[in-house]
Amino acid sequence: MNNECKKEKKPDIIDILRQFSETDDINTITNKGLKNMFTFYKKETTNITFRLKNHQEYFISGKVTDVIVGDSNKNLFLVEIELENKEKAIFGSWYIDIETIIPSSYNPIRYFNRIPISEEVKSEIFNRDNNECILKLDGCTNIAEEIDHIIPVSKGGLNNKENLQASCSNCNRKKYNNLLF
């Protein structure tokens, strides 16, 4: 018996979209395939989660209730989503970050490769934040000892300076992988 675990490969979004499109032209795949993907999720009543291109901090979760075709030449359309709180919202296909569309039951955290923050960047962040904890949660020591990701790595946050802040270890543990605004 082989006890060796096979590491799962993160599906490539273009491979997924190719399943929903009749062509291999990349622009047609992303537009037509995206519409077909949402139509599929509507038919299957699958809960999905995605992010918006210009608002990466928001995660939209819910069921696709309608796919409304707009400009059929450009494959532009609207997607109506029944959110988890049962409210409905409409999103233009051009605002949706296609690389973030996943079934809500899918756990992307296991696919994240945490890239270490360089000592140079850490030093810049500590200096920028005056070696003080920015979070200031209950139990804060106010002494910056660690670097915190504003948008957690597990939710797609990057190691860029705009997404990093100085934190004491107590606040960093309390925040965990949550978004605080």
Give per-residue pLDDT as tens, 39-79: 888 888 889 988 888 877 778 899 999 988 766 566 678 88
Angle at 93 between CA 90 and CA 96, to 5 degrees: 90
Higher pLDDT, 123 or 58: 123
Contact by Cβ (8 Å): 153, 114: yes
- Fold of the domain built from segment(s) 13-111: SH3 type barrels. (2.30.30)
Give per-residue pLDDT as tens, 74-89: 667 888 999 988 999 9
What is the model's pLDDT at position 9?
A: 46
Q: Where in the chain is the domain with CATH 2.30.30.100?
A: 13-111
CA–CA gap between residue 8 and residue 94 (Å, rounded): 30
Does the global pTM surpass 0.75? no
φ, ψ of residue 108 to 5 degrees: the values are -75, -15
Contact by Cβ (8 Å): 50, 89: no
Average pLDDT over residues 126-150: 95
What is the model's pLDDT at position 71?
A: 63
